[in-house]
Structure 1
């Protein structure tokens, strides 16, 4: 899979990814609106070109309060994100080119006030989804928002993903309707975060083609 070319679907009006992106951005905006005053930390796993977060942050009143880290493996995507950051004057946002599944990349940024796990759950096994959800209790601060995505193609794991979050101290805030054509979920962490343990792998990126689940959404 060419993960840079994959972003082209965002630019096709009406595409599933374009519609999903709009929803994710709306939920990010709402999460930032609801954060208490003061400095904020945001982390984005498998951030791609940063299209989920960067356009929202550029025009948000809290932009100067936010310190963010985007972690993405494809250097072409991180180069694009870095250009957007520079052009937008988002000097408190950093981009890391690396394996987003490794907990090491989030040292110094946890517990975060907003965690983005978009474009991941459709590309990893169910076991790894549950493992990643469990690690969100290390990544997220008490009261933090986690925004995640997963396609609704068979097997539709969205209900199970919600249960995995809720079994671990996350309250469901919002989940897209099954007929929307994509899955977006928002959970708020009400528990106490665990200390981040470096050196752990949260998931192994398999790819939706190998999982036989159709285009990730």
Structure 2
């Protein structure tokens, strides 16, 4: 089993379920780019890993030059790999990769509210439903009116954990655009659109507490 998040991301090379999830996430990112109004598109990615979901989409997308993005990730090895990809794509002036704590609101100041918010591989690494609700509430700080929010949630032991995510998002001013399960049925990917007003300040400095470990990540 992977001992850290850098090793965990290497599972994308061998695990079909992760490959399927990544394909759906990229599909939703591309959809969000296509559906965004003409002009600049601001993106933030929470717990971004090496950014392969966003960067892999921008590689061949016609609106790549419209994007300005901030990716936040605490693992320095993943950030280094992501920055190398950004450089190879010629997007170094548009995309900044912050090596910092994605749970802290201060790491998003100047980059939010965003047009597209990516929160993938996060919800399954929160301690409980209360912590999930706390993060979902704080998405109103990250998202501008009309923003797309792309998220993932794993299922296990026959429990469809994504049902609660969809319910809470719907009650928090987010309208569901699309939702898919991987072929295995145990990984969900959703895309919602924010239909309320942005919060000028977060409700609290720490947006959520990340408590997951790589060997049990969902």
Change in 2 beyond 3 A, CA 1:58/1:209: closer
Give the aligned partner of residue 71 of structure 2. Answer: 70
- With structure 1 as the length reference, what TM-score do the two structures score? 0.92
Q: Which residue among 2, 10, 19 is the counterpart of 1:8?
A: 10
What is the count of residue pairs matched by the alignment? Answer: 212
**Equivalent-residue separation in structure 2 for 1:139 and 1:149 (angstroms):** 17
Mark the runs of 5 or more structure 1 residues left unpaired by the alignment: none
Change in 2 beyond 3 A, CA 1:88/1:198: farther
Where 1:138 maps in the other structure, the secondary structure is helix
Given that 2:5 and 2:214 are in contact with CA atoms closer than 8 Å, whether structure 1 keeps it comes out as no
Q: Map 1:1-217 onto structure 2 (within 5 A).
A: 1-12=3-14, 15-91=16-92, 92-125=94-127, 126-154=129-157, 155-177=159-181, 180-197=185-202, 200-207=205-212, 214-216=216-218
Higher relative contact order (CA 8 A, sep 6+): 2
Given that 2:8 and 2:214 are in contact with CA atoms closer than 8 Å, whether structure 1 keeps it comes out as no
**Equivalent-residue separation in structure 2 for 1:175 and 1:124 (angstroms):** 21
Where 2:151 maps in the other structure, the secondary structure is strand
Given that 1:104 and 1:199 are in contact with CA atoms closer than 8 Å, whether structure 2 keeps it comes out as no
State the Cα RMSD in Å.
1.7
Where 1:122 maps in the other structure, the secondary structure is helix
What CA deviation, in whole Å up to 9, does each residue of 1:134-181 have, x standing for no partner? Answer: 111111011110000110114432111111111111001111148532
